[in-house]
Amino acid sequence: MSKIIDENYSKIVEKLSSLKHVLITSHINPDGDNIASVVALGAGLELLGKSVTLALVSPVPHIYKFISGSERIVEFKKLDEERPCFDCAMVLDVGSLKRVGETVDLRKYTGLVLNIDHHVKTENCGDISFVDSSYSSTAEIIYNLLTDIGVKITPEIAEALYVGVMTDTGGFQFQNTTASAMKAVSELIALGASPEKISQKVYFSNRAAKIVLMGKVLSTLKFDPSGKIGWITATKEVIDECGANSDDLENVINNLTSIETIEVAILFRDLHDGKIKLSLRARNSVDVQKFALKYQGGGHKKASGMVLDATLEDAVNRVIFEFRDYIRDYVKN
């Protein structure tokens, strides 16, 4: 019996059983969940004799390169040169196809786009979509999918999926750390995933440049008068000065949520590409996902992201001003 009972999910399972050549992709600015999901699904489909290509717009961040199979992920610019054709494109962990990359047109490669995600959906993401926000992560869904299509989970696949669940639940601390997530994690450990090894690789294998960058970015910390909103900023100059890259900013914002007065924490990134990228984190009852959706962003209630066309100064002034009003519905003095 299928682990997931859903009409669209069943259609995706049926399609995958008959397709031979599959493109698997996910969102820009990769994280643990989308890399884990892409790699695990690819490895599982190959065990069933299918040909797979893994492609992203952005390179794999340093901390996730230990995941077996991540080295096979190619950038879309290589596909643009080769122009291969696929039976379908599997799009994972996105609520909008724009999140794959603004320059990516999946219809150049295939006539069938299938979507699996656990975020609140903002638009039609393909010909068949299965989206269920009750799951902790896309990796948790992929684990169920691989089991349902008859894949024998190897230790390497188990390790990748564990990374996805662990990172998307904030190391099993976020609100989406559900009973089903912990059940999946327990089974993945039994199948060969090592919690100690994975935690060491993800949380305790930082390059020196990342720690230096974190110090400089955290030194920009500011608060609104209430102390309930805190924010930090990072610019390309600071990143380059530290010999780091933008991937090294992952999780730095979580330091702000350890401050007892904070309700909303924000990281503003100015990489001099004409856009300001924001990472949003929340404590207690505030829903930052709802705020991000207003700007075509998304994520989770406690952790979301969005992009603004603005200068750094304008973005900070605008967002902080709006959040002061926004959190009044959630936070009482």
Q: Which residue has the higher pLDDT, 301 or 278?
A: 278
Q: How far apart are CA 226 and CA 209, in angstroms?
A: 33
CB distance 96 to 124 below 8 Å: no
CB distance 35 to 165 below 8 Å: no
pLDDT in tens, 271-297: 888 899 999 999 888 999 999 989 988
pLDDT band at 223 (very low <50, low <70, confident <90, very high): very high
Whether the pTM exceeds 0.95: the reply is: no
Q: How far apart are CA 202 and CA 204, in angstroms?
A: 6
Residue 331 has pLDDT above 80, yes or no: no
β-pairing, 264-270 with 222-223?
unpaired
- 170: alpha, beta or left? (left if phi > 0; alpha if psi -120 to 50): left
Query: Which pLDDT does position 332 carry in this prediction?
Result: 60
Give the percent of the chain with pLDDT over 70.
Answer: 98
The residue to which tokens 């904070």 are assigned = 262
Mean pLDDT, rounded, for 290-307 = 88
Mean pLDDT, rounded, for 158-180 = 94
CATH of the structural domain 208-329, one choice from 2.40.420.20, 3.10.310.30, 1.10.3720.10, 3.90.15.10:
3.10.310.30
Q: Which residue has the higher pLDDT, 247 or 80?
A: 247
| Tokens standing for residue 46 | 């190959």
What is the DSSP-derived secondary structure letter of residue 154? -
The domains of the chain are located at 7-203, 208-329
CB proximity list for 99: less than 8 A, separation 6 or greater: 27, 28, 298
7-203 placed in CATH 1.20.1260.10: no
Counting every residue, how long is the chain?
333
Query: Which pLDDT does position 333 carry in this prediction?
Result: 47
pLDDT in tens, 35-71: 999 999 999 999 999 999 999 999 999 899 999 999 9
pLDDT in tens, 93-142: 998 888 898 889 999 999 999 999 998 765 778 899 999 999 999 999 99
